[in-house]
A and B are shown apart, each in its own frame.
Chain A
Amino acid sequence: MLNLNSRRLARAAISIAKHFSTRNYYTSMCRAGYSRTTPNHYDCLQPSFQQSSLFNLYKGAMFKKHNFLSTTTSNNTAEDGSEEIETISVTFVDKDGEEKLIKVPIGMSMLEAAHENDIELEGACEGSLACSTCHVIVMDVEYYNKLEDPTDEENDMLDLAFGLCETSRLGCQVIATRELDGVRLALPAATRNFAVDGYVPKPH
């Protein structure tokens, strides 16, 4: 019994650490801008997303200690009493109709959450608003309306998304909030629609 709880604690600690490390990665990507940290493109390749999360964990611990401690909420909606992060339930429905229910910490983007739960959501530009591969369809209009309107930049990328619908959003721009608890997100079917011409199929 004791073993089980300590294992759960360890798992929870790791997921918290991962959550903050990946969040730092995204924030630094979006705010600082890629170009300032990029050396000559031909000289070296950027560290991969997963590899740098450890580095950012270290960086996060060094420079943002206050973040690490202060954003933990005291409200506990998780069944497991040892977890300190508030999470919401999100269901991903893949193109074959298979559903996967996951817990997403508040403040995490749907793209990050998908990657952490091995859901096949592409993220070619890793959340920089430079592609449309993390396109998700919000299945219920009520949840879609709870989201903030997409920015011009997001709309520019949505223009190019395949299987675009009225309730389409980019997964990297949908951030988990309390009011999104229970949201269902569909992964668009890979259609043979290769023309970048704004063809909009009917939502399904």
Chain B
Amino acid sequence: MLKRRIFQSRRWLCRSFSSIIHSEPVRVCVVGSGPAGCYTAEKMLKASQQAQVDIIDRLPTPFGLVRSGVAPDHPETKIVVNQFSRVAQHERCSFFGNVTLGSNVSLAELRKLYHVVVLAYGAESDRSLGIPGENLKGILSAREFVWWYNGHPDGRNLDPDLKSIDTAVILGQGNVALDVARILLRPTTELATTDIASHALSTLEESSIRVVYLVGRRGPAQAACTAKELREVLGIKNLDVSIQESDLHLTPTDEEELKSNRIHRRIFELLSKAATSRPIHAGLNQRQLRFVFFRKPDSFQESKDSTGHVSGVLFEKTVLKGVGPGKQIAVGTGEFEDLKCGMVLKSIGYKSVPVDGLPFDHKKGIVPNDKGRVLSDTSDTAVLEEGLYVCGWLKRGPTGIVATNLYCAEETVCISPFSIHIIPITVKLTEVANHTVFMFASEFLKLSLS
């Protein structure tokens, strides 16, 4: 009876005591306000009542690629900003725009100011092909082009020339490549009702591009796009889509891959249907989209008038070679062919940019980490950097959709601050508190019962 009373009073006193201990806020800084940063902030706020989260971004406006990467004719994908806005409006959360990590504030300073720093600034650079002619005029990265039509401040001076050319080649067949192709080929009357940047809309209205090639190194069974985007591009009004039936031939490994992979299987079915069902009647000024497979870019050709402008791409034909279960790579065959064009858009992947004081894996283009906890380097003897975490593309590489960051953020938050920082401190304090309270309570009760 006495023991129970002591236990109850101890529990009550401990709870009120520990609420004093826990009232010290845990200051968290999230660098980057895109999906990774916002989901991380949301989960941090939910995980701890003591967390005070500051989200910083180098742009004055938040939301990262949701604002500047999602195509203007995909407004439903942008609805998630409602959720992100609610996070930023949380009483324990603040957003600071126009703060650039590396120039306005250094990583070292942030680590001094905050208990926890989570880097979620994504990937703002591009993979390069490393082939001759890559610096010619008219060769752009898809990332820059997307920034341009989405009104990103860094893309406003791109000024692509779409008036004096009729053919564009897009290298890559992922969703970004399809987005770019769709924006180039969609009737501008349809684009006019979207939130596309007005400078891009007026340039596209004067565009003379009639043929767009989507070129991939491997075959249709390996195309990196997803069904919704492919279906959409195949359904564009007045667009003639051509796919060579010979490219649809599947190797036994292809068939194995397709059997176990739902996404690729549905993509292949869509491409097969498009190859066989479209009658080719090139009407006057009708736009054309040509899917080209098994071609690896070898070099860029300069135009004969020496203006330093690209005039074509030389490709090497490829075949698939198995390098592991379910994995085939493209190997050159020594046969070449070229495609004449006036513009090339490289859509071969984004790349993250390192900052001072941040360990970086240049091979993978990410920050070395263990489930989101930053490691000091890429060696086997790396140690954990205290209070430093990553989330999003900076952690996993530049793949995935908005929702991928949901799970990525959950992993980083679960593995992180609250299990590392708070518990050791509070365990010590609550131990002391427990002991003190117990002594006090037992003395008090002994007195009251005597």
Chain A residue with the shortest CB-CB distance to B404: A194
Interface-forming stretch among B74-82, B244-252, B336-344, B376-384?
B74-82
Write out, one digit per residue, whether chain A residues 31-44 have a CB within 8 A of any chain B CB (1) or not (0).
Answer: 00011101111100
B407:A190 contact, CB within 8 angstroms: yes
- A126 on the B face (CB < 8 A): yes
Q: B403's contact among A46, A128, A129, A131, by CB below 8 Å, is which?
A: A131
A45:B403 contact, CB within 8 angstroms: no
Question: Which secondary structure dominates chain A's binding surface?
Answer: loop
Cβ of A19 to closest chain B Cβ, rounded Å: 20
* Neighbouring B residues of A196 by C-beta, 8 Å: 226, 263, 399-401, 404
A40:B195 contact, CB within 8 angstroms: yes
Known: A40-B195, A159-B262, A162-B407. A46 touches B67 (CB 8 A): no
A39 to B194, CA, bound (A): 9
Known: A124-B83, A196-B404. A129 touches B76 (CB 8 A): yes
* Neighbouring B residues of A128 by C-beta, 8 Å: 76, 79
Write out, one digit per residue, whether chain B residues 257-292 have a CB within 8 A of any chain A CB (1) or not (0).
Answer: 000111111100000000000000000000000000
- B408 on the A face (CB < 8 A): yes
B406:A197 contact, CB within 8 angstroms: no
B404:A157 contact, CB within 8 angstroms: no
A62 to B128, CA, bound (A): 58
A45 to B193, CA, bound (A): 17
- B127 on the A face (CB < 8 A): no
Q: B407's contact among A48, A156, A191, by CB below 8 Å, is which?
A: A191
B82:A130 contact, CB within 8 angstroms: no
B226:A159 contact, CB within 8 angstroms: yes
- A183 on the B face (CB < 8 A): no
* Neighbouring B residues of A129 by C-beta, 8 Å: 76
- B125 on the A face (CB < 8 A): no
B151:A42 contact, CB within 8 angstroms: yes
A35 to B400, CA, bound (A): 24
- A198 on the B face (CB < 8 A): yes
- A132 on the B face (CB < 8 A): yes
* Neighbouring B residues of A40 by C-beta, 8 Å: 195
Q: A131's contact among B73, B77, B85, B194, by CB below 8 Å, is which?
A: B77
A191 to B400, CA, bound (A): 14
- A78 on the B face (CB < 8 A): no
B76:A133 contact, CB within 8 angstroms: no
Chain A interface residue count, Cβ-Cβ cutoff 8 angstroms: 42
B151:A156 contact, CB within 8 angstroms: no
- B302 on the A face (CB < 8 A): no
Known: A45-B85, A160-B401, A191-B407. A130 touches B226 (CB 8 A): no
A156 to B226, CA, bound (A): 8
A155:B227 contact, CB within 8 angstroms: yes
Cβ of A43 to closest chain B Cβ, rounded Å: 9
- B396 on the A face (CB < 8 A): yes
- B134 on the A face (CB < 8 A): no
A38:B227 contact, CB within 8 angstroms: no
- A118 on the B face (CB < 8 A): no
Cβ of B249 to closest chain A Cβ, rounded Å: 22
- Interface residues of B toward A: which range? 35 or more
A193 to B228, CA, bound (A): 21
A191 to B296, CA, bound (A): 35
- B361 on the A face (CB < 8 A): no
Known: A124-B402, A129-B76. A153 touches B411 (CB 8 A): no
* Neighbouring A residues of B226 by C-beta, 8 Å: 156, 159-160, 196
Chain B residue with the shortest CB-CB distance to A152: B231
A195:B399 contact, CB within 8 angstroms: yes
B406:A133 contact, CB within 8 angstroms: yes
A130 to B73, CA, bound (A): 12
B261:A197 contact, CB within 8 angstroms: yes
Known: A152-B231, A156-B231. A194 touches B79 (CB 8 A): no
Known: A48-B86, A194-B408. A125 touches B76 (CB 8 A): yes
Q: Which positions 1-55 of chain A face chain B at CB distance < 8 Å? A: 34-36, 38-42, 45-49
- B410 on the A face (CB < 8 A): yes
List residues of chain B with CB under 8 Å of any chain A CB. 61, 67, 72-83, 85-86, 151, 193-195, 226-228, 231, 260-266, 371, 396, 399-404, 406-408, 410-411
List residues of chain A with CB under 8 Å of any chain B CB. 34-36, 38-42, 45-49, 122, 124-126, 128-133, 152-153, 155-157, 159-160, 162, 164, 190-192, 194-200
Given contacts A126-B82, A131-B80, 5 further A-B contacts (CB under 8 A): A34-B75, A124-B402, A126-B79, A130-B77, A159-B266
Q: List 30 A-B contacts (CB under 8 A).
A: A34-B75, A34-B79, A35-B193, A41-B67, A41-B72, A45-B81, A45-B85, A46-B81, A46-B82, A48-B82, A48-B86, A126-B82, A128-B76, A128-B79, A130-B79, A132-B403, A133-B406, A156-B228, A156-B231, A157-B228, A159-B226, A160-B401, A192-B411, A194-B399, A194-B404, A195-B400, A196-B400, A197-B263, A198-B263, A198-B265
